[in-house]
Chain A
Amino acid sequence: MPPAAATNLGYTPPDGGWGWAIVVGAFISIGFSYAFPKSLTIYFKDIQEYFAVSYSEIAWVSSVMLASMYAAGPVSSILVNRYGSRPVVMVGGVMVSTGMVLASFGTAIIHLYLCIGVIGGFGLAFNLQPALTIIGTYFQVKRPLANGLAMTGSPVVLFTLAPLNQFLLDSFGWRGSFLILGGIVLNCCVAGSLMRPVNKKALKKTEKTEPPECNGGAAEEAATVDTITQSDNLTEENQKESKSQGCVNRFIDISLFKHRGFLIYLIGNVVMFFGFFAPVVFLAPCAKHKGIDEYSAAFLLSIFALADMFIRPTTGFIGNTKWIRPRIQYFFSFAVSYNGVCHLLFPLASEYTGLVVYAVFFGFAFGMLSALLFEVLMDLVGAHRFSSAVGLVTIIECGPVLLGPPLSGALVDIFGDYKYMYYACGVFMLVPGIFFFIMHYFNYRRLDKERGQIVAVDVRTCEEAVELKTNPDDKAAHDTDE
C-alpha cells in the first residue's frame, strides 16, 4: 500500500495572523451552511396554510436543500481546486441570496423547491467546502483549534437565526422574511472576501531550496513534524510522480479511494450518519410524547444548542494539545462511541431532569463529533487533497443523511415508542466508533512502520548525496569551510 499522501505543502502555513480572520470567515460560512436549512422550519406552518399543502410536502423544502448541499460537494471541490476558496464562497453567497429572493415571489410550492432547495442548496455547498479547505491552508500546528472554532459557527448562527426568523415572520410574513433573509445570507460574501488566498510565495521564500534534510538533528525534527501531520514527507521525486497523474485528478482526486485512511473514514461515516441527525430532530417530539409541555421541550433544544456551542472550541483546544494531536483519530473514535452510549442510555430518562441531563450530554457529544469531523479528514489525507476528499465524502454521505430521519420516524411509527429508535441510533453510532478504534490502531501502526522506512531511505539518500558532493567538489567544499 502506498504511504499516505503528501502534506508537504511546499510552504509553512502562517498558523495565525490573517489566519484568524479566515477563521471568522469560515465561522460565518459554516454557520449559514448548517443552520440555514434548519432555521427555515419556522416558516413552514404559514407556507403550508398559504399553499394548502400537507406538512410532509413542505418539509421537502428542507430535505431538498440539505440534499443539494451534500450532492453539490464534488462540484464545489472541483471549483475550489481550480479557482481557490474566495471566488467560490462569494458566488455561493450570491446564489443563496438569489434563491431566497426568487422564492419570496413564488406562486407555487415547486418554486420553493427549486429556488430554496436547489439553488440555495448549491450555494450553501459552495460556502461549506471552501471554508473548510482554506482553514487547512492557513493552519497546521493550530489546525484542530481553528477547526473547532470555525465549526462553532453552526450552533451560534442557529441560535441567532431562530428568534430572528420568528421576529421577521411576525413583522413581514413569510414573503418579506425570505426577502430579508436573502439579504442576511449575502453576508457570506463578506466571509468570502475575508478568505484571502494564502501567499505561498512569501512563505516559500524561506524554504526555496529545500532538499531532503541530511543532518541527523534535522531528521529528528522531521520525524516530530511527521507525527503532527500523520503523513510522510515524500522526497521530491515522489512529489513529481503524484502530480503527473491523469486528467481527472486535476479536477478531483479519485485516487483517494485507494487511500487507506480515507476508506476507513468513509465507511465509518456512512454508517454513523444514519443515526447522527435523527436524535436531534426527534428530541422535542419525544419530550412532548413523554408528557412535557411545548415550551419546556423547546427549552431542551436550547440547552442542547448551548452545550454544543460551548464544547466545540473546547474540543478544538483539547485536540490541539500535544497528548491528543498525534493520536487525534482515537479522540474522534471516542467522540463517536460517546454519542452511541448517550443514545443507548437515553430511554432510562423518564422525567424532565433526566431529559435535561441527556440534552447536556448529547450536546457535548454532538459538538465534539462535529468539531472533529473535518479535522480528522484533514489529518488523514492532508490539506492538499482535502478539498477533493470532502467533496467525495459529502456526496456519499448524502444518502444516510437524508434517509436517517425518515427511517427513524418509521421506527417510531411501527413501535409507537421512541426508545427503539434511540436504541437503533445508539447502535448506529457505537459500532462505527468501535470500528474506528480498531482500524485506526492498525492504521497508526502501519503508518509508523512506513514512516520508519522512509526516514531510513532519506538518511541513506542523504548520505549518498553528501558522498557525491564531497567527492567531485572537494575544492569547493574546502573553500566554503574556510
Chain B
Amino acid sequence: MLASWKQLIFQILLLLISCRHINTTSPDPTPPPLVPIDSLPRDVRRAAFKGEGQIEKVELLNPVNLELVCTWTGHQNKESNITGFWRKDGLEIENSHLTVQLQNEQYQLQQVFNIVSEENLGNYSCVFESEVKIDFVVAVPQIGEIRDKPVVTYVGDSGVITCKMEDSKPMPNTWKWYKANGTDKEEIFAAAEPQRYEIKNNERKTKLLVNNLTMADSGLYYCGAVYTLSTSMGHVELKVITYYEPLKPFMAIVAEVFILVTAILLFERSRSKKNDTEGDMMSDQTNTLSPGENNGLEGSSSMRQRKT
C-alpha cells in the first residue's frame, strides 16, 4: 500500500516537473494540456552526427511523446565525461544539462519531449560542449508544391486558387483559407459570403473560388492544411488586372500588321505601275527581237511569228 502511494506521489512530481519544463520555454503561458501525458504514444527519432549544419526533419501530425536521440563520436582526445544539453529555437532548455559518458566510442544524448500543441513545435538542437551538433526540426507536414508565379485574373471575372498536399505526405484533417491583410492573416469564411467565396475541399486538394473580382482582391492568399497539432501554410498570389492591360500590346500588334500590309501592297502597286510603263516600251522591242533564250531557235521562231 505504502509503495503504491509512493509511486503515485513520484508520478505526480514527475508530472509537475515536466509541466514546469514546458512552461519555461513558451513565451505566453497556456494552460497545461488535458490529455494525460503518459497515455501519449512514444515516437523515437535517432540521428548520428555526420557534419556541420546537420538538420533532421521530424514530421508530426498528432500529440506524441517525442524522444530524440543524438549520437556523436567525439573529438580525437575522447574524455570519459562531457556535458550536453538541449536547445529549443536557440534558447537553452532549463534542467536539460546532463553528463554524458563515453559508451562504445560514442556520446549519446537523449531526451523525451512532450509535443502536444503548436508551441512545442520548433527547432530542437542537441549541444555537446557548447557546440550545436544536430538540429531536429519538429513540424507538421509542409506544403511542398507552392505556385511561385501569381495567378492573373481580370476585374469582374472569377479567380481560382488551388493548394495541394503531396501524395507522399499525410492527409490534413481539413483546409482553411486566409487572406493577407498587411502583416496579419484574415480567415476567409465562405459561408459568410457565399456569392463571393467558395471553398471546395477534397482531402489532398483545396480550391478557393473568388467571384466578382475587384482590384482590392489582389494580394497573397494563404491555404492552411489543418493537422491536430498545428496548421501548415502555403501561399499563392492573386493578381487582378483590367482588360486594358493586354489590350495595349494587342492594339500595338494590330497597328504593326496594318502598317506592314499597307506598305507591302503599296510597294507592289508602285512596282507594277513602273513595270507597266516599262513593259509597253519593252514589248515593241521584244516583238522585233527574238526572245528565244529558252529554245535557242531564233530563226525558226521569228519565222513562225511572221507567219502568224
Contacts and interface: CB of A to CB of B under 8 A. Distances in A.
B247 A179 contact: yes
B241 A172 contact: yes
B286 interface: yes
A268 to B, nearest CB: 35
Nearest to B259: A190
A209 B268 CA distance: 29
Interface string B266-308: 0010000001000100010010000101111101111111111
A183 B249 CA distance: 8
B246 interface: yes
A213 B250 contact: no
Nearest to B150: A170
B261 A207 contact: no
Contacts of B162: 49
Interface residues of A, number: 42
A476 B152 contact: no
B253 interface: yes
Given A12-B294, A176-B152, A209 B160 contact: no
A186 B268 contact: no
Contacts of B283: 205
B301 A176 contact: no
Closest 6 CB pairs of A and B: A176-B246, A173-B152, A183-B253, A183-B250, A193-B264, A193-B261
A164 to B, nearest CB: 12
A433 to B, nearest CB: 38
Contacts of B308: 209
Contacts of A368: none
Contact of A206 (B157, B245, B247, B294): B294
16 contacts: A49-B160, A50-B160, A52-B160, A171-B152, A173-B151, A176-B152, A179-B246, A179-B250, A183-B249, A183-B250, A183-B254, A183-B257, A196-B268, A202-B279, A215-B296, A480-B306
Interface string A156-193: 00000000000001111101110110111011011001
B154 A182 contact: no
B153 interface: yes
Contacts of B207: 49
A217 B296 contact: yes
Interface of B: 149-154, 157, 160, 162, 207, 239, 241, 243, 245-247, 249-254, 257, 260-261, 264-265, 268, 275, 279, 283, 286, 291, 293-297, 299-308
A159 B4 CA distance: 81
A59 interface: no
A218 B305 CA distance: 19
Contacts of A2: none
A459 to B, nearest CB: 15
B295 A209 contact: no
A180 B154 contact: no
A194 B247 CA distance: 27
A253 B254 CA distance: 37
B152 A172 contact: yes
Contacts of A202: 275, 279
Contact of B304 (A183, A209, A213): A209
Interface string A446-474: 00000000000000000000000000010
A241 interface: no
A175 B246 CA distance: 9
Interface of A: 12, 46, 49-50, 52, 169-173, 175-177, 179-180, 182-184, 186-187, 189-190, 193-194, 196, 202, 205-207, 209-211, 213-215, 217-218, 221, 473, 476-477, 480
A289 B157 CA distance: 38
Nearest to A214: B300
Given A206-B294, A211-B304, 6 more contacts: A172-B245, A175-B154, A176-B154, A186-B257, A205-B286, A215-B295
A172 B239 CA distance: 9
A180 B257 contact: no
A189 B257 contact: yes
Contact of B291 (A180, A193, A205): A205
Given A172-B152, A205-B286, A215-B300, A180 B294 contact: no
Nearest to B304: A209
B249 A480 contact: no
B152 A218 contact: no
A180 B264 contact: no
A186 B247 CA distance: 15
A265 B135 CA distance: 70
A273 B269 CA distance: 43
A190 B152 contact: no
Contacts of A217: 296
Nearest to B152: A173
Contacts of A209: 301, 304-305, 308
Contacts of A194: 264
Nearest to B299: A480
Contacts of A210: 295
Contacts of A175: 154, 157, 246
Contacts of A205: 283, 286, 291
Nearest to A188: B257
B149 A173 contact: no
B254 to A, nearest CB: 5
Contacts of A187: 253, 257
B295 A213 contact: yes
A170 B261 CA distance: 31
A180 B249 contact: yes
Contacts of A477: 303
B297 A218 contact: yes
Given A172-B152, A209-B305, A180 B250 contact: yes
A444 B308 CA distance: 39
Given A205-B283, A206-B291, A210-B295, A176 B245 contact: yes
Contacts of B152: 169-173, 176
B293 A206 contact: yes
A290 B249 CA distance: 42
Contacts of B302: 480
A173 B261 contact: no
Given A179-B250, A180-B246, A183-B254, A480 B260 contact: no
Nearest to A170: B149
Nearest to A49: B160
A184 B301 contact: no
B151 to A, nearest CB: 7
A190 B299 CA distance: 46
Nearest to A476: B307
Contact of B261 (A50, A189, A211, A221): A189
Choose among B249, B301, B304, B305 the residue with the greatest number of A CB atoms under 10 Å from its CB.
Answer: B249
Contact of B246 (A170, A177, A190, A476): A177
A193 B307 contact: no
Contacts of A179: 246-247, 250
Contacts of B251: 183
Contact of B257 (A52, A190, A211): A190
A411 to B, nearest CB: 26
Contacts of A50: 160
A176 B308 CA distance: 66
B241 A218 contact: no
